């Protein structure tokens, strides 16, 4: 039996980590039985979640999880796609994971108000006297990672322009198709779905969320994916722009 280790549902999302949601969606797509459990970063083979235990075989990283499932269970999640389409899907997947992801981390962890709305709750079990120190230490680590990756060296406006470009690219490639590569879901949908619902998460107030909300096709896509794979989460598609009640910031206007 497969056990997928993640952070557990939070912020109205199946998991606060888009990588965990991606891995779980891949398992759902493959139709392989699994259970979920709370992971411990200290026990995680690569110090990150998700990782998975498949009858004693421990696999860390959402992409290696995908390849393991495909190989062991004889599933081809990209069936029907040409080599060129597979290459495009891979490039979009890595754009979401290596670029958009860091803009989302910045929005949740660096902005104080969003930190209070979300990540602060991860520290609720730390004894009160030590909590401020632990929070400061972990946030310092996140800031260092953002600096090393490079995105946090930009001004807020530049960072937003870069993040928005990735969201626009996802919306433009999706266009009017039901799924990211065509009429049926393929592996890249697990990633695009996970990262777009993270961007749309109503718990956080971010210009990236506003940018995503203005792409009606992205919201409808998340709704379709949620209906198929997460029927227990009917609100993942977020608020409609009108409901959000906020005009598009100047920097987001074409």
Ligand X SMILES: N[C@@H](CCC(=O)N[C@@H](CS)C(=O)NCC(=O)O)C(=O)O
**For binding to ligand X (CB under 6 A), which residues are involved?**
17, 19, 41, 47-50, 61-63
DSSP 10-31: BTTBS-S-HHHHHHHHHHHHHT
CB of 208 to ligand X, least distance (A): 16
CB of 139 to ligand X, least distance (A): 12
Please give the span between the terminal C-alpha atoms of the chain, in angstroms, as a whole number: 50
Cβ distance to ligand X smaller for residue 19 or 214: 19
Cβ distance to ligand X smaller for residue 105 or 226: 105
Cβ distance to ligand X smaller for residue 43 or 240: 43
Query: Do strands 51-54 and 34-38 pair parallel, antiparallel, or not at all (unpaired)?
Result: unpaired
Could you tell me if 176 and 221 are in contact, meaning their C-beta atoms sit under 8 angstroms apart?
Answer: no
Cβ distance to ligand X smaller for residue 117 or 220: 117
Could you tell me if 8 and 15 are in contact, meaning their C-beta atoms sit under 8 angstroms apart?
Answer: yes
Residue in the block written with tokens 């949620």? 226
Q: How far apart are CA 245 and CA 249, in angstroms?
A: 12
Q: How far apart are CA 165 and CA 39, in angstroms?
A: 33
Q: How far apart are CA 132 and CA 31, in angstroms?
A: 43
CB of 244 to ligand X, least distance (A): 25
Cβ distance to ligand X smaller for residue 119 or 214: 119
Cβ distance to ligand X smaller for residue 94 or 240: 94
Q: Which residues of 162-180 are buried (b: 16+ CB within 10 A; e: fewer)?
A: ebbebbbbbbebbeeeebb
CB of 45 to ligand X, least distance (A): 11
CB of 70 to ligand X, least distance (A): 15
CB of 101 to ligand X, least distance (A): 7
């Amino acid at each position: 039996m497969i056990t997928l280790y993640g952070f557990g549902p939070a912020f109205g999302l199946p998991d606060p980590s888009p990588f965990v949601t991606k891995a779980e969606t891949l398992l759902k797509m493959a139709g392989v039985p699994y259970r979920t459990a709370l992971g411990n970063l200290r026990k995680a083979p690569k110090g990150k979640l998700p990782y998975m235990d498949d009858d004693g075989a421990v696999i860390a990283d959402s992409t290696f999880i995908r390849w393991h499932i495909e190989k062991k269970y004889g599933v081809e999640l990209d069936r029907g796609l040409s080599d060129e389409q597979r290459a495009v899907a891979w490039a979009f997947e890595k754009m979401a994971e290596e670029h958009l992801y860091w803009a989302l981390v910045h929005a949740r962890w660096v902005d104080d108000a969003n930190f209070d709305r979300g990540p602060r709750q991860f520290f609720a079990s730390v004894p009160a006297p030590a909590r401020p120190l632990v929070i400061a230490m972990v946030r310092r680590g996140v800031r260092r990672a953002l600096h090393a990756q490079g995105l946090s060296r930009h001004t807020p406006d530049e960072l937003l322009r870069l993040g928005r470009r990735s969201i626009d690219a996802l919306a433009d490639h999706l266009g009017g198709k039901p799924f990211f590569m065509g009429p049926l879901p393929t592996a890249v949908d697990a990633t695009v779905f996970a990262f777009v619902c993270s961007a749309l998460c109503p718990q956080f107030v971010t210009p990236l969320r506003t940018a995503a909300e203005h792409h009606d096709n992205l919201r409808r896509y998340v709704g379709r994916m949620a209906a198929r794979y997460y029927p227990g989460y009917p609100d993942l598609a977020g608020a409609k722009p009108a409901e959000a009640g906020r005009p598009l910031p100047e920097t987001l206007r074409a």
